[in-house]
Amino acid sequence: MPGQLLLRRACQRNAARGIIHHTRPFNPLARTLATTAAPSAPSAASAAAKLQPGTTLHGFNVLRVQEVPQFNLTAIQLKHEKTGAEHLHVAKDDSNNVFNVGFHTPVSDSTGVPHILEHVTLCGSKNYPVRDPFFKMLNRSMATFMNAMTGSDYTMYPFSTQNPVDYKNLMDVYMDSTFAPMLREMDFKQEGWRLENEVHTDRESPLIFKGVVYNEMKGALSDLSSLFYIRSQQHMYPGGTYSHVSGGDPESITNLTHQQLLDFHARHYHPSNARFYTYGNFELEKHLQAIDARISNFAAITLESPTPTRLFTERQTARVSCPPDSLADPAKQTKMSVSFLTNESNDIFETFAVGVLTSLLLDGAASPMYKALIATNIGSDYAATTGYNSEARVTNVSFGLQGIKSEDVQRVEDIIMRVLTEAAQTGFDPKRVESVLHQTELSLKHRNANFGMMVGQQVMSSWIHGADPLEFLKVAERIERLRGLLATPRYFESLIEKYFLNNKHRLVFVMEPDAEYNDNLLSSEKARLEKKVGALTAEDKDRIYLEGIKLAESQETKSDVSCLPTLTVQDIPVNAQTHPTEDLPLAGVPVQWRKTATNGISYVNVARDINKLPSHLQPYIPLYASALGALSTKNHDLPVLDEAIRMHTGGISASVASSASPQSLSEAAVNLTFSSNCLDKNISSMYHLMGEIASHTSWQDQERLRTVVSAAASDASQGVVQNGHRYAMKAAAAGLTQSMQLTEALSGLTQVGFLGKLARNGVDQVGQVAQKMEEIAAWIASDVAPAKVAVISDPAAQDAHKRNLDTLLKTLDARRTTTTPPEPATTSTEKRPSSSSSSSSSSPPNPTTDNNNNNNGLFTPTFSRRFFALPLAVNFTARTFLGVPYTHADGAALQLLASLMTNHFLHREIREKGGAYGGGATYNALEGTLSLFSYRDPPSGLANTLKTYERAIEWASSRGGAAAWGTQRELDEAKLSVFQSLDAPKSASAEGMTRFHTGVTNEMLQERRERLLAVTVPQIADVAQRYLLAAGQDRSAFAVLGGKADAELFVKSAKEPWQLVDFE
């Protein structure tokens, strides 16, 4: 991610969509580097600045020392004398210290060898010969981040922690895992792929493909956005590493051998091919001493030269097929893009400039591509590759649309080329250029809790491709250099001509739905399987059977983890870190003030209580939130409004969320929250724009409203494949509490189906949608929707906030006197399907008919079993139980129970044995629900996964009982795991916001903390028995997301009654 501090839209989006492959799920990288608070005495940075180039420290030569005042840090570039290993240390007074080691891992096929190696590397090493030390360390550490990830041609292993002992422990485990892994064939077969009897204990059961990565990539390629991105990049870079799938294509994964994995590790996981990154306020010398001790026994090697990209001599076209999207308009399912190969990624300034140019062309309602492609409603949204991809050695820029008619492909290409031609002739308004640079500068000032991790991850790919890592940090210099070049006539225009208009390396990529796609995929897998099985002898089949038994026995064997380092419960602080707030109302509205060092940025959240919103409007409220700021207003056309937002704020957005009361699960709050941030000098402009949008949005701007509907439906549909387990848990929990019913209706499959229906009806319903938006706006402006506000700022900015916020609130209050709220509509009494529902098929649920409130106004839980049929090649499953409110004494034990079930039972059974990418238990402390879940689970294992849930409950209920095998050590590990997230550092924008959004006070947080620390082993068994075992099959809810054929077969054969909900 070479020095690109903004608009990594294609790569950032696809990092979340399976293009960067992770050992465990993680949030996509932020688009920008954002600094932590400026310290008063930068001791770590100043101490590092005293180092002199030419100094040798523990086998490393100091090459350069560079102070970066903008970030209050000192960067030091070093090189290991013996091996040539490179090291970047960023010294900064930040307690959240980071380590990262990366390797250049180009591929020559799509077997997924770097991705599988990333998994197997973490399955045991020379000094830590235990099964899966990586996941074991998750419970023996206070890490704020632990992961491993595979990019297009690199692999990296980062972690962060605030504890120096923890840092030393994790660094030792990470380096032993990467430089001295065991790489056992059994682990290769578990994590990569294997042939095994479907029922491993039954020699006569059919042989099938199994493996964690194999199933993970089947799931990744079920995501249409990931599929589009991967296939597009393969055609964009013919002949080289990027023409292959680094994560692995299931059709090729089954060709990889264990020996090939060993050879790949020997070639690439060598110090000569390594880049080490350390960050924070810990001492550099100790880092270097530990690294040198690990790598000094290696001799330097000569690295392979990268395969050059084969350039096109003329425009190329590629067409591929994909499965239909059952949630989208069947007549508009074609996706296409026009892509151009651009600059070398090791040229950091050119990368920055092309990124700014891409933003000017694409971002916001004032951009020419938005006006020509999005505002015209030719398609539903930009295509997945749209934007600047600076991930590869040679970068590329793409412009494209999804949700278009097949016959519009040439029309879209013509529009794209016309926009580029016009931009090269007329250039860009200087105000628009300045707004893009303002966004960049603003993003650099945010006090981000994960600053060091973001730097380490973003610098790695450019560094691996030969870029200067110190140049990466010189952001202010790049901005000023670009401003200087803008005085040059036709600077951006010449870039457009060079990279787009006169560029022969242009690819028109088209992906169209094929109704037979999934069937063909299954047929192909069946043919590959039959070919491999057909080549086996009787002895081979016996060996495979015995290997399956041996693997299962190995998975059952309890590892001796005493060799792994660990923190103890005594390392957990007794008192929670708090962020004090002050309540001072303005204009009769409650206002929560948080005064803290924000680096000159202010954050404002205005929330409206929408609990009493009429039921016929409820399904539309998420769309209302999306539309705020995306339509024209009374005083500003959308392009003008959008430019003003970009010039004066970091963005204005709205969101809607439900939260249970901390004291009672029968009470729920639903809030629409209007948020923005800005430099303190722009406080007045920010409030003015917020008031303009809140009070004067033009809801009859129907063409643009249709654009909002299309984009919302597209995003919702894509989210299901990316986060299917979360949708499954929401669906299962929807019948258990009022809050979770609302959450599912507002952000679950119910909302996905609702938005899909609106988008398919298109122009026919946009007038009706506009009417609903106006009704919601009128209702919110009435006295029925009380407001509350949270402000986070530097103390010096508080007076400016009081003046401007008071004006905004009085403006909104004045509007109430002129607005009449709509009359409540009659609410249907149709019930959500319960566990007694028949197994017949039904349409996706409608939130306006899902009403579990009885005549007394009390919520009555229902326990359903539902299978949602979607275009998926893998399953996402959940089983959910009712817990307790946040302040209840049992909540702490339930939270620890979920951690114990994940780490000591479900991970082993669902991932290691079952072959799913992930699985576990999670306790939603705020909502009072405990869910067991699986992620990218092979369809053949569904029955076993559901049985595993039952066995997990029995397992947990026996802790501390007659079996007496539950140990204090395991409980202590669970406490360390839980406190990792509780004590993770917070960004300035999040300080005090838990209280604002949920009502959980600092006193409640401290009480919860003390209860967590005090939980005993017998308490775990007690809550497992009372809340899980006693609930049984009839008082827990199930949800499965999977393919339609699998759904029909399962529902038909299941002993219990299941409801089939058909989304296809």
What is the arithmetic mean of pLDDT over 867-882?
A: 94
pLDDT of amino acid 559: 79
User: Which one is predicted more confidently, 560 or 1002?
Assistant: 1002
What is the arithmetic mean of pLDDT over 175-182?
A: 98
In the structure encoding, which two tokens stand for residue 895, read together?
């939270």
Q: 901 pLDDT band (50/70/90 cuts)?
A: very high
- Does 35 have pLDDT greater than 60? no
What is the arithmetic mean of pLDDT over 240-249?
A: 95
pLDDT of amino acid 974: 94
Q: 726 pLDDT band (50/70/90 cuts)?
A: very high
Q: Quick check: is 774 catalytic?
A: no
What is the arithmetic mean of pLDDT over 509-524?
A: 95
- Does 97 have pLDDT greater than 70? yes
- Does 70 have pLDDT greater than 90? no
Average pLDDT, the chain: 89
Is residue 921 within a helix (H) or strand (E), and if so which, with residue range? strand 918-924
pLDDT of amino acid 327: 79
Q: What is the largest CA-CA distance in the chain?
A: 85
Q: Are 115 and 268 in contact (CB under 8 A)?
A: no
Give the model confidence (pLDDT) of 790-846 as tens digits. Answer: 999 999 999 999 999 999 988 777 666 555 555 554 433 333 323 333 334 444 333
pLDDT of amino acid 818: 55
From 118, 196, 775, 991, active-site residue:
118
Which residues have CB under 8 Å from 164's CB, separation 6+? 97, 282
Domains of the chain: 44-295 (3.30.830.10), 316-449+480-513 (3.30.830.10), 587-816 (3.30.830.10), 873-1042 (3.30.830.10)
User: Which one is predicted more confidently, 957 or 175?
Assistant: 175
pLDDT of amino acid 740: 97
3-class secondary-structure state, position 422: helix
**508 bridge partner residues:** 317, 338
Give the model confidence (pLDDT) of 578-596 as tens digits. Answer: 999 999 999 899 999 999 9
State CA 690 to chain mean position distance. Answer: 28
Residue 868: exposure state from Cβ atoms within 10 A (0-12, 13-18, ≥19) = buried
In the structure encoding, which two tokens stand for residue 578, read together?
């708090």
Give the model confidence (pLDDT) of 330-352 as tens digits. Answer: 899 999 999 999 999 999 999 99
Q: 848 pLDDT band (50/70/90 cuts)?
A: very low
Cα separation, 374 vs 360, in Å, equals 15
CA nearest to 886, candidates 1064, 776, 993, 1009: 1009
Cα separation, 75 vs 230, in Å, equals 35
3-class secondary-structure state, position 673: strand
- Does 86 have pLDDT greater than 90? yes
Q: 308 pLDDT band (50/70/90 cuts)?
A: confident
pLDDT of amino acid 855: 37
pLDDT of amino acid 461: 87
What is the arithmetic mean of pLDDT over 115-127?
A: 96
State CA 445 to chain mean position distance. Answer: 23
- Does 40 have pLDDT greater than 80? no
Q: 48 pLDDT band (50/70/90 cuts)?
A: confident
pLDDT of amino acid 816: 60
Give the model confidence (pLDDT) of 419-448 as tens digits. Answer: 999 999 999 999 999 999 999 888 888 888
Helices (H), 465-576: 469-472, 475-485, 491-496, 517-534, 538-556
Cα separation, 569 vs 561, in Å, equals 17
CA nearest to 420, candidates 314, 502, 511, 507: 502
- Does 960 have pLDDT greater than 90? no
Query: Distances in Å between the alpha carbon of 605 and those of 598, 654, 779?
Result: 15, 9, 20
What is the arithmetic mean of pLDDT over 694-714?
A: 92
- Does 611 have pLDDT greater than 50? yes
What is the arithmetic mean of pLDDT over 238-249?
A: 94
pLDDT of amino acid 719: 87
Phi, psi of 929, deg, nearest 5: -130, 140
pLDDT of amino acid 812: 77
pLDDT of amino acid 644: 96
- DSSP secondary structure, 166-182, as one string: HHHHHHHHHHHHHHSB-
Q: 997 pLDDT band (50/70/90 cuts)?
A: very high
What is the arithmetic mean of pLDDT over 873-895?
A: 97
pLDDT of amino acid 414: 98
Strands 21-22 and 149-150, by their bridges, are: antiparallel
Query: Distances in Å between the alpha carbon of 649 and those of 343, 721, 1053?
Result: 31, 33, 56
Q: 46 pLDDT band (50/70/90 cuts)?
A: confident
What is the arithmetic mean of pLDDT over 205-230?
A: 94
Report the percentage of the chain scoring pLDDT > 70.
Answer: 90
pLDDT of amino acid 718: 85
Q: 43 pLDDT band (50/70/90 cuts)?
A: low
pLDDT of amino acid 851: 40
What is the arithmetic mean of pLDDT over 1037-1057?
A: 94
- Does 18 have pLDDT greater than 90? no
Is residue 1006 within a helix (H) or strand (E), and if so which, with residue range? helix 1002-1014
